[in-house]
Chain A
Amino acid sequence: MSRLAVKAEGIWKEYQIRHTLEGPQTSFKAVVNAPFNWLMRRSNKYAHIQRSEPFFALKEVSFDVEHGESVGLIGRNGAGKSTLLKMLSRITRPSRGRITIYEHVNSLLEVGTGFNVELSGRDNIFLNGSFLGMRVSEIRQKFDEIVAFSEIEQFIDTPVKYYSSGMFVRLAFSVAVHLTPEILLLDEVLAVGDSSFQHKSMAKMKELLGSGATIIFVSHNDRAVRDICKRAIWLDKGEVRMDGLSVDVVEKYVESLGG
């Protein structure tokens, strides 16, 4: 029995690449210049100077992910992996097409989102947890576990600015691994902390997989994709180039890089 977790139907993402000096934001200067630019574009001589040009980060991308699947997204820089993950995380919306998400999602694009260094570890756990979509009751229930996992018990009421960078990362990651999503969206956040902590984190990830969570994982690291994911989707210039068993897809992808 299989049920759908994510369905992406013909998604496109269009960005405007600006050619004029003005950035995406309008400044006072741009407002003053606007009529002159407009006149220049109207005269035939400068007709070729366009204000902006569309760039498609994703083109007609469609795929289904079933419940419990682990899918790796691979591809070169600018292939559209991160855009796709951002879209699944609801940070940006598609220009065309639709995505349907059938289960509860947590996305982990960064560890420690919303952390404030002036606040204590305790306050940051609650703040970060709520940014990641956890309920207060859920955070409270897991609080001791989160603190124990991060190994910073005696500093939990100290402002985070006095933490070492290792402590900071451990705390941030500890909140993240205590999420209980049905779908987990991950963006290369596995490599944090020292090696013993990394080991612990990987074990926690495997545990999540074992519990039947659906995982979508973006990585440059083909080995990590092959180890964690059964299936891989290879994105190339915004299009799905290959979709299949991660062993096969990663092999073809690595081949293409070599060639």
Chain B
Amino acid sequence: MEILKKGKSFTPVVITPPARLELPDFRELWEYKGLLFFLVRRDIMLRFQQTVAGFLWIIFQPLIQMLIFYVLFGLLVQIPTNGVPYTLFFLSAFVVWQFFTQVVNNSAMSLVGNIGIIIKSYFPRLALPLSTVASAFVDFGVSFVVLMVFLLVNGGYPITFRYLLLPILLILTAIFSSGVGLLFGAMMVVFRDMKNLLNFIVMIWMYVTPIMYPVSIAPEKYRILFYINPMTSLVDAYRWVFLGDAGGLPRINYLLISLVVAVIIWLSGAIAFRAMENKIADVM
């Protein structure tokens, strides 16, 4: 490495028994940014190159879901969406939900699914779940374009100053999703049934998040319960960006709570993940 070539002093690496609470080594992670890049590249190439319709799948998945829910809740049940066409109402939240599930599912499998590499080489293990966040952003980019096409074709939803909030929302969503994924990834190492349970948990989570319905269909006094779930205020905020006031009122205070929750979840996820990465080579 560079250190070797320049003959500069090398900071000695001290290997000690694992402490009970360890935070990831961010400096080291930065040194492995090349690995992070190739992990993302691997993931994208495998998905885009190997299947005939790799790219099209990313477009069709939200569209097919949208069609199903449009028929169910837009045509048959006719859920009130405050004047917003159901297709747009659903899609504006579902693209975010897809990002969330992709990060959670792939991060959760990152330790158990890469065991072959983990027991044969050293690298900061956190690179594995973090690379899934980066590739989920690529997918999000594609479905975001699909959403924009729908919004602009409709014509009633122009791009406003509210889009400035989008990067902040995305970072918040990424931190929260990654944290949840890290927690499940850690559990997966010791709890074998987690793999099957996770599918159910994510599915139930989708139903309690206002993706296919607005929170306003619930009686006033119960609405607060929806906001225990940080995804609710995030989804609200995305709708506020994409659909304007009709998408619901922005709840900045709830969003701030989401930020705090997201950071706490991420840190506890990172600590749990670290504890399990110390253990995984010994138990598997």
Contacts and interface: CB of A to CB of B under 8 A. Distances in A.
B52 interface: no
Given A123-B41, A127-B42, A90 B1 contact: no
B23 interface: no
Interface string B115-148: 0011111110000000000000000000000000
Contact of A104 (B4, B16, B190): B4
Main secondary structure of the interface of A (DSSP, over half): loop
Interface string A135-178: 11010000000000000000000000000000000000000000
Interface stretch (A68-76, A95-103, A226-234, A245-253): A95-103
A53 B14 CA distance: 29
Nearest to B282: A92
Contacts of A133: 1, 32, 121-123
A90 B16 CA distance: 10
B83 interface: no
Nearest to B284: A24
B189 interface: yes
A237 interface: no
Contact of A119 (B12, B45, B120): B45
Contacts of A109: 120-121
Contact of A126 (B12, B38, B189): B38
B121 A116 contact: no
Given A101-B12, A102-B12, A136-B37, A91 B119 contact: yes
B15 A93 contact: yes
A104 B14 contact: no
A134 B122 CA distance: 12
A237 to B, nearest CB: 19
B283 A24 contact: yes
Chain A interface category by residue count:
35 or more
* Most A Cβ at <10 Å: residue of B10, B13, B38, B192: B38
Given A127-B42, A138-B1, A90 B34 contact: no
28 contacts: A24-B190, A24-B283, A25-B284, A27-B192, A27-B193, A92-B281, A92-B282, A93-B16, A93-B17, A93-B18, A93-B278, A97-B16, A98-B16, A100-B12, A104-B1, A109-B121, A110-B121, A114-B121, A116-B42, A118-B46, A123-B42, A127-B38, A130-B34, A130-B37, A130-B123, A136-B34, A136-B38, A180-B5
Interface of A: 15, 23-28, 86-105, 107, 109-110, 113-114, 116, 118-119, 123, 126-127, 130-136, 138, 180-182
Given A98-B16, A109-B121, A116-B46, 11 more contacts: A27-B191, A91-B119, A91-B120, A99-B14, A100-B14, A104-B10, A107-B121, A113-B120, A123-B38, A127-B38, A138-B1
